[in-house]
Amino acid sequence: MTIQQIKYFLTLSNELHFWKTSEKMFISQSSLSRQIQALENELGIQLFERDKRNVKLTDAGKFLQKKWTATIKELDQVHRQAKKIDEGVAGFVSISYPGSIAFKFLPNFLEIINSNLPDLKLELIEPTDKTHEKLLLNYDTDIAFSRDSIKNINISSHKLSSEPICLVVPKNHWLTKESLDNLKELKNEKFIIAGLHQTTFFASLLRNFFDTYGFEPKTIIESDFGGMILNLVSRGLGISILPLSYKHAEFQNVRFIELHEKIDLFVNWRKNDPNKTINTIIDLTKSIEE
């Protein structure tokens, strides 16, 4: 039994006429008759009652008509989806990202992906205990946005943008860009930042920052989640250091003071990945560099 035989059967079950069916299916009447007979013989079921003038479905034929119509429809959908995947316009892709891009870059990126690849299903991951490199190599993610370029022979990286890191303070705080002549003045401030003991890129950046200015921050709260940090700063509980991207979160009671230090944004993916959809996404991502 073949899919083509089932399609012949379904067309004949709708037309109930061998000549019309043979024309519709681009097959001779004699070949169509042999295909239907072969199908009946293989199943051991009579599908049609037929004489010289009439063709009629048997009860078993009616049952299979209903069931096989749904089956063939599902198969056609599966084949169309597989074709889209092969062409790089559909499928399932997992993407990991740092929280700082969640308020501008990531929504813009998702809008463009949705416009160009409407059939694509995405999974978004904001890792806290695994590096983007490990996620890519373990196939836990397919594309990783990161603040550092991943140095691995099996991974490709492309720089998308750079932006300042900022001191984030409550609106009524004494600190301004003009008044900040010496960053050592911050040594008595209460900080709400990521844990400096962590091995993440941003934690390393913070350690270098404090080493450069010669003081250890008075950390009162540690958090990896920028949204939580902004909320706490807006309530006057302390100050923080975050990428400028967090300004797009639009918290009402905070100010961003740009520093000279900058932080980059990279997109990373596995080299020679056979999934064409990933390559399509990478090309779209490069087109929206900021």
Q: For 94-146, what is each residue's pLDDT tens digit?
A: 999 998 999 999 999 999 999 998 988 899 998 865 688 888 988 888 999 99
Same domain, 169 and 255: yes
Q: Read off the pLDDT of each residue in 147-161 and give the average, rounded to a whole number.
A: 92
Domain match, 47 and 70 both? yes
Domain with 194, as residue range(s), is 163-262
Point out the domain boundary residue: 87, 114, 129. 87
Q: How far apart are CA 204 and CA 9, in angstroms?
A: 67
Residues 151, 281: one domain? Answer: yes
In a shared domain, residues 173 and 221: yes
- Please report where in the chains the tokens 């750079």 appear, as a residue: 162
Report the percentage of the chain scoring pLDDT > 70: 96
Which of 87, 102, 128 is the endpoint of a domain? 87
Same domain, 140 and 189: no
pLDDT at 130: 64
- Convert the pLDDT of each residue in 260-278 to its tens digit: 889 999 999 999 888 888 9
Q: What is the pLDDT of residue 186?
A: 87
**Mean pLDDT score of the chain:** 88
Task: Look at residue 184 in the predicted model and tell me its pLDDT.
Answer: 81
Three-point CA angle 18, 45, 23, nearest 5°: 15
Query: Would you state the pLDDT for residue 128?
Result: 67
Instruction: State yes or no: pLDDT of 195 exceeds 80.
Output: yes
Using the 3D structure, point to which of 41, 58, 87 is the last residue of a domain: 87
Average pLDDT over residues 194-215: 86
Residues 278 and 143 in one domain: yes
pLDDT at residue 89 is higher than 80: no
Residue type, 48: F
Tell me the two tokens of residue 22.
Answer: 């043979």
Amino acid identity of 35?
Answer: Q
Mean pLDDT of 49-75: 87
The tally of domains found in the chain comes to 3
- pLDDT at 63 > cutoff 70: yes
pLDDT at 17: 86
- Average pLDDT of span 151-169: 93
In terms of domains, do 106 and 70 share one? Answer: no
Say which residue, 79 or 33, is predicted with more confidence.
33
Query: Helix (H, G, I), strand (E, B), or coil: what is residue 285?
Result: helix
> What pLDDT score was predicted for residue 113?
93
Does 69 lie in the same domain as 19? yes
Phi (first) and psi of residue 58, to 5 degrees: -80, 170
Query: What pLDDT, on a 0 to 100 scale, did the predictor assign at position 289?
Result: 60
* Claim to verify: residue 149 and residue 193 sit in the same structural domain: no
Q: Is the pLDDT of residue 55 over 80?
A: yes
Judgement on whether residues 120 and 197 belong to the same structural domain of the protein: no
Under a CB-based contact definition with an 8 Å cutoff, are residues 260 and 165 in contact? no
Say which CATH number the domain at 94 has. Answer: 3.40.190.10
CATH number for position 44: 1.10.10.10
Domain shared by 69 and 125, yes or no = no
Q: Are residues 82 and 98 in the same domain?
A: no
Give the C-alpha separation, 237 to 280, whole Å: 44
